[in-house]
């Protein structure tokens, strides 16, 4: 076995595998086989050095990366791989915190708040503190608090140090410290940790309980970190502490692919690692096995514009390959069509599978135009990321019931379900209950149990019913297994009935989603290898899951769509990077500082280096943004690539007229008059606009979308066999659209 894997490696790769002791940093260029090195390194430790897998920790940034690595190692070392301590930072330390929670005063089944939970809690807090919701928007406050936590600044230090107050005052938001304090206390009382807390509290645990730190330090002989360039300060300190005794820390990363600065990732971790570990061994993996020469050259020419980076020379032995294809479109919709037809053409010409294509974009919202075009051409696709299953309202609602029944201190969950399904309890009552809880310093649940002594009036009865329900649920959870308990709660809470009564298309899919969640719980509880099959364990895992591995897709032959961020670590034969426009990529919000712009450039570098065979870059000259058609300039990044590497494709370009807005308006007003009943009361709003132009059939029709509403199309002839249609979309005017639907019946 040893011969096998070592023989297939190049010199620096081999060194990365066998050089297991002492601090080590692998600088791994894109496509240089770093996952392979990490996998073999672990296999080497277990098989050659006879290290107990239990004493190896491997940290990644995504669940997907963790799962993939586990799978690969399993192939080499078999079942033992199961004992490796491997996963994302958040999941590994959530697990540790769960067993050590009492040391920090948290319940073992503490709730994990996602960003939405945190923000809605913050919103309520700002209101309670009587602060201006405009200056203290949840987003702003939340980001500030996260940044502090990532730098390991607790609220005590934050409120105690005048530097932070001065900084906040300068930005005219001096009360952030107060909010931070209230938020932290509230989370603690709710028995809840947000994502940042998982790391912050791990640090706290290790700082305040040296015996605990000691336990892990001695247990863990080897610590490995993948995507090290994405670690923030808080994560870095955890790594350093855990490896302080063994000194066997191996970090793998590529400074050129550091793209999570917004989450606190600090590129200086990688640039300064040497200072913290003077006898650090640095190994550079510079040979790219993934891409053609063209792609590697393009990537290098882009990244060399950056100033902050480690010197390295990424090269390849592969063929020169095809030129990069630059596709120009007139609108975002046309961009979609061009990409779709290009994919179709390439697939046919080269006999490829759809699974070999990926469409990468900067923002999730760009997927819509792509999806529509792919659907229209009957090209199968899969979206990775975006709104996660676990972020859907109906899913979160049921989860909130489960969470609250398990942890009845949890305020965020309480607020979610107290009046869902509707039971006649409004904001006034909710406020009374929470205020009572915090005034008396008791958990919400205690108030609820004696709700009649706090609440009077017509909300008292339903509140008591609610309390009774929850106490039943608590018993259910204790006496039944995870799946049965969850099913019963879904039923008795009224969620299933409420959704079942909704016969709309969305209602149906919501109902299915809840069923799907129950299935997931069932599957979770029926996995034989799983140690902890409780509902509590499921909730913890679900909280850290993102829109990734949840696609149990049995048809693998699909085009993949995702953001560039999600694509890190992956590779595809044909890659389309769409929306190469100034202000979009690089993002408008990243233009203010040089560091930000460099991060965007690294993002572009990541996008390019996903490609094995052929790279396509596309942009549109106009695009809908802020609800308006806006002209776009090609991205500055395009200029960074040597012209000789690019082939400009114009063959697809088709004539497409711009939507004649005034004409559309008068058309709409005439429709409004002729609708039955006439829609006269509504004033034309600024939001009402003629939308995309499109090449479609002749005549006017109302298209019903999957949302049960529709679009109005007017098709016009522009001569030379060129027809264009105007598509009217309405925003905030669903009533009007329903009238249009009626109109269709009249005109038939």
- Binding residues (CB under 7 A) for DNA: these are 61-63, 88-91, 114-115, 120, 123, 137, 139, 195, 259-260, 262-263, 362-365, 368, 385, 419, 422-429, 458-459, 544, 546-548, 562-563, 565-566, 587, 589-590, 625-627, 681-683, 685, 687, 705, 707, 731-735
Cα(608)–Cα(278) distance, integer angstroms: 34
296-313 b/e with 16+ CB inside 10 Å = b? Answer: bbbbbebbeebeebbebe
CB 56 to DNA: min, Å: 20
Query: Quick one: 129 or 244, whose CB is closer to DNA?
Result: 129
CB 48 to DNA: min, Å: 31
Cα(525)–Cα(249) distance, integer angstroms: 35
CB 500 to DNA: min, Å: 15
User: Is the Cα dihedral 712, 716, 722, 724 positive or negative?
Assistant: negative
Query: Quick one: 562 or 617, whose CB is closer to DNA?
Result: 562
Cα(70)–Cα(84) distance, integer angstroms: 9
Query: Quick one: 76 or 126, whose CB is closer to DNA?
Result: 126
Query: Quick one: 75 or 422, whose CB is closer to DNA?
Result: 422
DSSP codes of every residue in 561-623: EEEHHHHTT--EEEEEE---BTBBTTBGGG-SSHHHHHHHHHHHHHHHTTEEEEEEEEEESEE
553 CB contacts (<8 Å, ≥6 apart)? 382
- Contact by Cβ (8 Å): 411, 580: no
CA atoms within 13 A on the CB side of 690: 21
Query: Quick one: 290 or 362, whose CB is closer to DNA?
Result: 362
CB 665 to DNA: min, Å: 15
Structure tokens at 427: 């904001």
Cα(606)–Cα(227) distance, integer angstroms: 13
CB 351 to DNA: min, Å: 31
Give CA 505 to chain center in angstroms.
26
CB 396 to DNA: min, Å: 11
Element (H, E) at 112: strand 111-113
Closest CA to 270 of 285, 255, 249, 281: 255
Query: Quick one: 210 or 387, whose CB is closer to DNA?
Result: 387
CB 386 to DNA: min, Å: 7
By CB neighbour count within 10 A (0-12 exposed, 13-18 middle, 19+ buried), where does 279 fall? exposed
Neighbouring-strand partners of residue 712: 702, 728
Structure tokens at 735: 């009533």
Active site residues per annotation = 34-35, 226-227, 257, 610
Tell me if the bond preceding 677 is cis, omega within 30° of 0: yes
CA atoms within 13 A on the CB side of 327: 27
SS3 state at 161: coil
Q: Using the 8-state DSSP alphabet, how is residue 229 labeled?
A: G
DSSP codes of every residue in 255-310: GGG---GGGTB-HHHHHSHHHH-TT-EEEEE-EE-SS-HHHHHHHHHHHTT-SS--
Query: Quick one: 77 or 193, whose CB is closer to DNA?
Result: 193
Structure tokens at 102: 């009492």
CB 30 to DNA: min, Å: 18
Query: Quick one: 297 or 335, whose CB is closer to DNA?
Result: 335
Query: Quick one: 218 or 375, whose CB is closer to DNA?
Result: 375
Neighbouring-strand partners of residue 192: 111
Query: Quick one: 685 or 697, whose CB is closer to DNA?
Result: 685
CB 65 to DNA: min, Å: 9
CB 720 to DNA: min, Å: 31
Supply angle C-alpha 270, 28, 231, rounded to 5: 35
CB 599 to DNA: min, Å: 7
Closest CA to 736 of 686, 690, 677: 677
Q: Using the 8-state DSSP alphabet, how is residue 364 labeled?
A: G
Query: Quick one: 244 or 595, whose CB is closer to DNA?
Result: 595
CB atoms inside a 10 Å sphere around CB 46: 23
């Amino acid at each position: 076995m040893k011969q096998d894997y070592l023989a297939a490696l190049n010199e620096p790769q081999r060194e990365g595998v066998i050089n297991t002791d002492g601090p080590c940093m692998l600088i791994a260029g894109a496509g240089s086989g770093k996952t392979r090195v990490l996998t073999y390194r672990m296999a080497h430790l277990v098989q050659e050095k006879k290290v107990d897998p239990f004493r190896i920790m491997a940290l990644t940034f995504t669940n997907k990366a963790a799962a993939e690595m586990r799978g690969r190692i399993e192939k080499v070392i078999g079942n033992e791989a199961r004992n490796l301590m491997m996963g994302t930072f958040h999941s590994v330390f959530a697990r540790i915190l769960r067993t050590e929670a009492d040391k920090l005063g948290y319940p073992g089944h503490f709730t994990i708040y996602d960003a939405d939970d945190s923000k809605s809690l913050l919103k309520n807090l700002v209101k309670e503190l009587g602060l201006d919701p405009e200056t203290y928007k949840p987003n702003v406050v939340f980001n500030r608090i996260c940044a502090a936590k990532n730098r390991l600044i607790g609220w005590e230090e934050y409120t105690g140090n005048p530097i932070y107050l001065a900084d906040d005052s300068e930005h005219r938001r001096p009360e952030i410290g107060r909010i931070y304090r209230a938020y932290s206390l509230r989370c603690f009382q709710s028995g809840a940790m947000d994502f940042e807390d998982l790391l912050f509290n791990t640090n706290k645990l290790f700082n305040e309980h040296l015996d605990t730190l000691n336990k892990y330090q001695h247990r863990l002989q080897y610590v490995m970190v993948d995507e090290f360039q994405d670690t923030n300060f808080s994560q870095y300190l955890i790594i350093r502490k855990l490896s302080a005794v063994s000194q066997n820390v191996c970090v793998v990363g590529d400074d050129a692919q550091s793209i999570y600065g917004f989450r606190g990732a600090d590129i200086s971790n990688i640039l300064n690692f040497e200072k913290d570990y003077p006898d650090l061994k640095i190994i550079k993996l510079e040979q790219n096995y993934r891409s053609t020469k063209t792609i590697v050259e393009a990537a290098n020419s882009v990244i060399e514009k950056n100033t902050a980076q480690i010197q390295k020379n990424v090269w390849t032995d592969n063929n020169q390959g095809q030129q990069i294809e630059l596709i120009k479109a007139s609108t975002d919709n046309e961009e979609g069509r061009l990409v779709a037809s290009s994919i179709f053409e390439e697939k046919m010409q080269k006999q490829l599978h759809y699974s070999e294509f990926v469409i990468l974009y900067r923002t999730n919202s760009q997927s819509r135009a792509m999806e529509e075009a792919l659907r229209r051409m009957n090209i199968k696709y899969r979206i990775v990321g975006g709104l996660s299953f676990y972020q859907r309202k109906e899913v979160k609602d049921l989860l909130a019931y489960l969470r609250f029944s398990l942890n009845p201190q949890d305020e965020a969950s309480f607020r979610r379900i107290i009046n869902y399904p509707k039971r006649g309890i409004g904001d006034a009552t909710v406020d009374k209950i929470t205020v009572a809880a915090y005034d008396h310093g008791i958990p919400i649940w205690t108030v609820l149990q004696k709700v009649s002594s706090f609440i009077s009036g017509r909300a008292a009865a339903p509140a008591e019913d609610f309390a009774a329900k929850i106490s039943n649920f608590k018993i259910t959870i204790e006496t039944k297994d995870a799946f049965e308990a969850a099913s019963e709660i879904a039923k008795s809470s009224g969620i299933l009935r409420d959704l079942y009564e909704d016969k709309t298309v969305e209602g149906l899919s919501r109902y299915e989603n809840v069923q799907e969640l129950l299935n997931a719980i069932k599957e979770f509880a029926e996995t034989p290898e799983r140690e902890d099959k409780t509902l509590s364990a499921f909730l913890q895992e679900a909280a850290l899951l993102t829109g990734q591995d949840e696609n149990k897709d049995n048809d693998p032959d699909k085009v993949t769509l995702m953001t560039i961020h999600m694509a890190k670590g992956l590779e595809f034969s044909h890659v389309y990077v769409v929306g190469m426009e100034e202000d979009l990529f690089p993002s408008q919000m990243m233009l203010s500082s040089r560091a930000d712009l460099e991060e965007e450039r690294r993002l572009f570098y990541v996008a390019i280096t996903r490609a094995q065979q052929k790279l396509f870059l596309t942009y549109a000259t106009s695009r809908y943004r802020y609800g308006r058609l806006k002209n776009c300039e090609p991205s500055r990044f395009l200029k960074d690539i040597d012209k000789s590497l690019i082939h400009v494709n114009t063959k697809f370009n088709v004539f497409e007229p711009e939507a004649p807005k005034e004409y559309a308006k008068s058309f709409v007003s005439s429709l409004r008059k002729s609708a039955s009943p006439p829609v006269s009361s509504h004033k034309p709003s600024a939001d009402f606009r003629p939308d995309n132009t499109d090449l479609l059939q002749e005549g006017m029709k109302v298209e019903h979308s999957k949302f049960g509403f529709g679009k109005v199309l007017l098709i016009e002839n522009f001569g030379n066999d060129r027809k264009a249609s105007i598509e009217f979309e309405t925003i905030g005017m669903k009533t009007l659209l329903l009238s249009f639907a009626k109109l269709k019946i009249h005109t038939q």
